[in-house]
Amino acid sequence: MKKRIVVFTGAGVSADSGISTFRDADGLWANYRIEDVCTPEALRNNREQVIEFYNMRRKESLTKRPNAGHLAIAAMEEWTDVCVVTQNVDNLHEQAGSSRVLHLHGELMKLRSERNPELIYDINEGWEQDIDARGEDGALLRPHIVFFGEDVPMFDTACRIVAAADILIVVGTSLAVYPAATLVYYVRDRQVPIYLVDPGNPDTAMIRNPLTHIKERGAVGVPQLLKQLKDELAE
């Protein structure tokens, strides 16, 4: 039977596509204050700045393409049972061809009603959210992004996905944001191997499972690791 592999990604998997991470020295949070652009209070009190921030992220993302890391993850579907859980709001996993992608922190190319979280709209053209755009319920639309201080509605589903993994691969995340970072504890048991591809030093102190840290950038380390796993699983 095919092994079930779960790939849990953060901003680092898209860094080699030219999208900024958040907490690296040149990351987004070095240039913006989270409380100005990524909280429900900011949306309430500083709507223009929040919409503008996500308009810029969306505009930038339209010029980006998947890198070798995204592509290798998508190609896993040819040889194993794989599910991607991403903290990223870009759609580079989907562009690369991954068919099972769960977005924990929302999606840049979607807007939703401020009143009804189920009323979600795809942005099919361009990058700009009109500040006065409203949904069919009459409420203002907002970026379909999980702000700091908000619930993470997909978290329970993500936990179930991770709990079904035979192997967990973590790519490009500082493991600094909760509850997302705790996903690594939801593996089925202590035997499930965890692989981490990240050139930096994510917070792995609490991981008790066998952990292999590949200190490489995603576009190099992910294809390498996946080739190795594919060969091992074929034996």
Q: Which of 7, 16, 50, 186 binds ligand OAD (CB under 6 A)?
A: 16
Residue closer to ligand OAD by CB (options 83, 196) is 196
- Binding residues for ligand OAD, rule CB under 6 A, total 25
| Of 72, 80, 64, 66, nearest in space to 4 by CA | 80
Three-state SS at 191: coil
Min dist CB 119 to ligand OAD, Å, is 20
Let me know: does 101 contact 49? Beta carbons within 8 Å: no
- Per-residue DSSP letter, 98: -
Q: Is 103 a catalytic residue?
A: no
Residue 87 contacts ligand OAD per CB under 6 A: yes
Per CB under 6 A, the segment of 4-12, 92-100, 188-196, 223-231 that binds ligand OAD is 4-12
Alpha helices in the chain (DSSP H): 12-15, 28-31, 34-37, 40-45, 47-61, 68-75, 92-96, 155-163, 218-234
Per CB under 6 A, the segment of 50-58, 76-84, 169-177, 185-193 that binds ligand OAD is 169-177
Residue closer to ligand OAD by CB (options 87, 129) is 87
Residue 129 contacts ligand OAD per CB under 6 A: no
Whole-angstrom CA distances from 184 to 46, 92, 158 are 35, 22, 11
Q: Which of 24, 52, 77, 128 binds ligand OAD (CB under 6 A)?
A: 24
Catalytic residue among 70, 93, 103, 105: 105
Tokens of 155: 């978290």
Per CB under 6 A, the segment of 43-51, 113-121, 124-132, 198-206 that binds ligand OAD is 198-206
Q: How far apart (Å, rounded) are the C-alpha atoms in residues 180 and 193? A: 19
CA angle 141, 19, 160 (to 5 degrees): 70
| Of 5, 23, 30, 189, nearest in space to 84 by CA | 5
Per CB under 6 A, the segment of 133-141, 162-170, 185-193, 197-205 that binds ligand OAD is 197-205
Restricted to residues 97-116, the positions that interact with ligand OAD (CB under 6 A) are: 105
Let me know: does 174 contact 200? Beta carbons within 8 Å: yes
Q: Which residues are catalytic?
A: 105
Q: Site residues (CB under 6 A) for ligand OAD?
A: 10-12, 15-16, 21-24, 27, 38, 87, 105, 146, 172-174, 176-177, 198-200, 202, 217-218
